Structure 1
């Protein structure tokens, strides 16, 4: 069975399992039962037909990746992205558009070269992890010590790495829901400080990615207070294989790393959440939120992470803004700043809006996946579950199953709004290929699955209209 065929079968199997489980937990809706009114179904059918056939979200991603490109915090691209988003929202028919500014720490990436110098010299493809210090242009060369995972590194004896370079070779697993990321990302976040505590002079790891391309994956790391800061880099998967092949020969392997002008600058920069609203016709103070993050890493053009999310939520707002009749509640689209460096923009948003979180009726974000949505998980009050079940029943023919849980808090940025009390819906898309491109130079427009994008945009638009038209209090 070829890979694409296997992917389809796996998705159908998962969908079927979720449908059965959802029926057990929420109560099955039998054929012929009228869950939604005829008028609601007619409107939903119109939205599904129109948006599924449109390419607005793809056009927006094309515009963003062509006219702006990479949008790393503190770079000209980030400022250009803010202006782009404000202009697009105004062009797309949003009633209100504004920015909310705050500050973030500035980190800069310098040039980097990495190589194995002995016993068999090879130049390697590597990338600095976000937040890493550099080498001030001077090479750091030392023997490499292998660890299978972060825990093995943390368990190493004290001072066992003095003058050496720690390498963690954990290989991320590929899964439709991306849960392999959680097992792999710990080394990226905490590996450098763990290595430094054992005396290491640098930290190297296999990229947190599922591809076999000779392209390295970046991503944020953290230093522990009071622990020496050492350089932290990720190797492409093929180069990690090469390094491990050499280590298996049981000869000392020396690694050389040089970076210029890389590291935290100690400066702050201005960031901006860009917010647009489609005003509700009856209850404008009640908000349905759609989120994505506007920043990206400085590699690639941020087409998938998170250009897809930006395209989806802007297209959804655009469609509803131009409907003949507005829904009762306001739809607020939030493009969060500085997600990649630690959810900085949404922290500011929650602080600013903490006194009216009760007006945030329900929200959803897109910040994962490239394939079609196969599952909806709610996180709402018990009285609202029947309404969510009714909506999920409508989505079922689109291949979307209702999860057997009611624990969604919102994805990515929205998770902090969920923690503050906003109900949420988490849509789970097929993410089998997401971590092939995540945080790499390969995150470009050609990787976007255009047909899946149409369906996913339709689902988000259907959700936004359904929630904004509903009289249900999703908090209760």
Structure 2
């Protein structure tokens, strides 16, 4: 009897284990095979590069609310339709309209020198005739925070943090903080203006990297600009003499009201569950000095091309593939926030999502924020991506990318596909953000990764855990 009881117990445990595994999300073998075919086909498909060439040539720079904003949206609508998307539409996003007209600067004492610089987003202009003031330098945000306001009042604050190259681009975390938070801190301490060493990793290019500041209230903002790395070196050499250094800034820029743009969306409609979506995309806007090839025309092109490959299969996917070309990511994620607010109540219909916004370097790592029962499905996706050189890190969260991170914050299950950013910040936010920086083969590798995982998510048996607030505090925001 004892042996019989133990046998019954073992059998019951096996049944329980079988019931638990049956509840787990898995990818059918047929879908895995199709995803492998999509992956391999994408490596020899030139759609993404053709799309990116079209965008950067026919539209060019796409400053949010600028002269190419509407042409950019018109281009996206036409391109979605030309690629055969089943449904194409727009959703509005309203934001402050910031304009750049003219910018210049120079060291006026002790040794006069011209400075190559660029105004930062939401910076106000200088008074007519420019602003001339003594410079006070800090080597970090921490030092600026600790400074006595009396030493700063009426001066131009300079922060000289220098970014270093890395595959994951981790130095941009501090570089962007110096650019975003630094001007706000300086203004709160009575500074007359703000300068920083560009948040970029190029050492010898005399080109400044623009980007947004944390200013939202124009009445509390001060003129703010970024110096090219060689010009930051020049300023620091003069400061090293120990004599007072004065700089003149002449910036003609600022917020001039509001503008209503739009997210542009294309869908490949699901055949079985059209209301359930796999979300991918990139942001359509760019900064104005370059043509927005790596930031983020590449993301738009990757997601359009991945969905196009799925569209061209003999049968539509079970669930909808939704590609979103987001509005105004650069100056505050306005399109992303508008999208997340609009679709928050539908979060359980979002199977899985992430966007591409780190250029066109090869994807080398994947991570995910999903329910525990969907981990096996993520492992299946990772196995299909492994031949592309993509490693799976089960310990890292999946944030959803810069724009779809807003939907992840609402509870959408999300991936992160990390791209090689070793040289991305050499060109980021500069006039050097142009098509020649994109390697067609590396771009195609991105498409292969996105096409494969998107299709597998669309065909999954089960869900990935999307629900209101499902992933709060998962660390993806860090």
Out of 406, 409, 425, the position equivalent to 2:399 is 409
**2:222 aligned residue:** 230
Task: Tell which structure's C-alpha radius of gyration is larger.
Answer: 2
**1:98 aligned residue:** 89
TM-score (norm 2): 0.89
CA RMSD of aligned residues (A): 1.6
Give the Cα separation in 2 of the matches to 1:199 and 1:45. 59
- Please tell me whether residue 206 in structure 1 is matched to residue 184 in structure 2: no
**2:132 aligned residue:** 141
Report 1:65-464 matches (<5 A). Answer: 65-212=56-203, 213-223=205-215, 228-260=220-252, 262-265=253-256, 267-405=257-395, 407-464=397-454
Give the Cα separation in 2 of the matches to 1:369 and 1:89. 21
| Post-superposition offset of 1:258 | 0.9
The more displaced of 36-45 and 158-167 is 36-45
Give the Cα separation in 2 of the matches to 1:229 and 1:41. 53
**1:47 aligned residue:** 38
Q: Is the 8 A contact 2:159 2:196 kept in 1?
A: yes
Q: Is the 8 A contact 1:387 1:472 kept in 2?
A: no
- The runs of 5 or more residues in structure 2 that have no matched partner are 1-25, 467-478
**2:4 aligned residue:** none
The structure-2 alpha-carbon separation of the partners of 1:158 and 1:168, relative to structure 1 and needing over 3 Å to count, comes to same
Give the Cα separation in 2 of the matches to 1:392 and 1:51. 17
Q: Aligned with 1:188: secondary structure?
A: helix
Give the Cα separation in 2 of the matches to 1:41 and 1:144. 60
The structure-2 alpha-carbon separation of the partners of 1:158 and 1:61, relative to structure 1 and needing over 3 Å to count, comes to same
| Post-superposition offset of 1:110 | 2.0
Q: Aligned with 1:412: secondary structure?
A: helix
| Post-superposition offset of 1:354 | 1.8
The more displaced of 209-218 and 220-229 is 220-229
Deviations 1:94-149 (A, max 9, x none): 00000011311101112111001111111010000000001143221121111001
Deviations 1:312-338 (A, max 9, x none): 000011111121111111101111101
Give the Cα separation in 1 of the matches to 2:414 and 2:27. 20
Q: Is the 8 A contact 2:354 2:399 kept in 1?
A: no
Give the Cα separation in 2 of the matches to 1:395 and 1:224. 41
Give the Cα separation in 2 of the matches to 1:118 and 1:250. 12
Deviations 1:259-300 (A, max 9, x none): 23x1111x1111100011101111111100012111111110
The more displaced of 397-406 and 231-240 is 397-406
Give the Cα separation in 2 of the matches to 1:158 and 1:406. 40
**2:10 aligned residue:** none
Q: Is the 8 A contact 2:92 2:261 kept in 1?
A: yes
| Post-superposition offset of 1:368 | 0.9
Q: Is the 8 A contact 1:137 1:259 kept in 2?
A: no
Give the Cα separation in 2 of the matches to 1:38 and 1:273. 35
Q: Is the 8 A contact 2:124 2:218 kept in 1?
A: no
**2:473 aligned residue:** none
Deviations 1:211-242 (A, max 9, x none): 12100011110237697421001000010011
TM-score (norm 1): 0.90
Q: Aligned with 1:163: secondary structure?
A: coil
Q: Is the 8 A contact 2:35 2:453 kept in 1?
A: no
